[in-house]
Chains A and B, each alone.
Chain A
Amino acid sequence: QKEVEQNSGPLSVPEGAIASLNCTYSDRGSQSFFWYRQYSGKSPELIMFIYSNGDKEDGRFTAQLNKASQYVSLLIRDSQPSDSATYLCAVKFYNQGGKLIFGQGTELSVKP
Chain B
Amino acid sequence: GAGVSQSPRYKVAKRGQDVALRCDPISGHVSLFWYQQALGQGPEFLTYFQNEAQLDKSGLPSDRFFAERPEGSVSTLKIQRTQKEDSAVYLCASSIDPDTGELFFGEGSRLTVL
Chain A residues with CB under 8 Å of chain B are 4, 6, 8, 31-32, 34, 42-46, 49, 88, 90, 92, 96-105
Interface residues in B, total, Cβ within 8 A: 25
The residues of B that contact A105 with a CB separation of less than 8 Å are 41-42
A49 to B95, CA, bound (A): 15
> Which one of A44, A49, A97, A98 lies within 8 Å of B43 (CB-CB)?
A44
A102 to B35, CA, bound (A): 10
- A sample of 17 cross-chain residue pairs with beta-carbon separation below 8 angstroms, ordered by A number, consists of A34-B102, A43-B91, A43-B105, A46-B103, A49-B100, A88-B42, A97-B55, A97-B98, A98-B48, A98-B101, A99-B33, A99-B56, A102-B42, A102-B43, A102-B45, A105-B41, A105-B42
Interface centre among A42, A44, A98 (most CB of B within 10 A): A98
Chain B residues with CB under 8 Å of chain A are 31, 33, 35, 40-45, 48, 50, 55-56, 91, 95, 98-103, 105-108
A99 to B42, CA, bound (A): 14
Interface centre among A8, A42, A97 (most CB of B within 10 A): A97
Q: Is the CB of A103 within 8 A of B91?
A: no
Q: Is the CB of A44 within 8 A of B55?
A: no
Q: Across the two chains, which residue of chain A brings its CB closest to B41?
A: A104
A88-B43, A104-B42 known; A49-B91 Cβ under 8 A: no
A97 to B42, CA, bound (A): 19
Q: Is the CB of A92 within 8 A of B101?
A: yes
Q: Is the CB of B103 within 8 A of A100?
A: yes
A100 to B91, CA, bound (A): 13
The residues of A that contact B40 with a CB separation of less than 8 Å are 8, 104
A101 to B43, CA, bound (A): 8
Q: Is the CB of B45 within 8 A of A99?
A: yes
Q: Is the CB of B99 within 8 A of A98?
A: yes
